[in-house]
Amino acid sequence: MPDPVDDPTALPAPMKILNFRETGMKVVQWAQDPSTRPRDLAEFKQQLAGLVQVPDRFKEIQIMQGYDHVFFLRLPPKNQVTKSHEQLANETDDLNEYGIPDFYFDAINNPDDFKREDFFFSRIADYTIRGCR
């Protein structure tokens, strides 16, 4: 059954991560200590205040933690992936338009300044919070 709030004509606004490293550290904390997890969307926003901009389209939160022996196939919302694919056809070859976070380029282009722990936390924030585009 489709989500009744999906608008098939619009690309939903994604969450915008303002600080990848700090956001990743918060996600790691939630993974390691379930008592620190937000209980609802309001608490999620409060815990990530100044770190993540959460669009108004989000009305609730569901938290799932994987297990080493179970593969969770998390599919993006149908509308989101469809509209993203359509948008991709209209973009130039500029990767900046696609929305790849700077820390990936920093790690590749500035290996002398590369900090593995910063990259670790930033990656966790990227794939956990930003999701699929």
Contact in structure between 12 and 5 (CB atoms under 8 Å): no
69 pLDDT above the threshold of 80: yes
Q: How far apart are CA 23 and CA 38, in angstroms?
A: 13
Confidence category of residue 1, pLDDT binned at 50, 70, 90:
very low
Q: How far apart are CA 17 and CA 131, in angstroms?
A: 11
Q: How far apart are CA 71 and CA 52, in angstroms?
A: 27
What per-residue confidence (pLDDT) applies to 57?
A: 87
Domain segments of the chain: what residues?
A: 16-130
The tens digit of pLDDT for each residue in 70-123 reads: 998 888 888 888 888 887 777 766 666 667 888 998 889 988 887 889 999 999
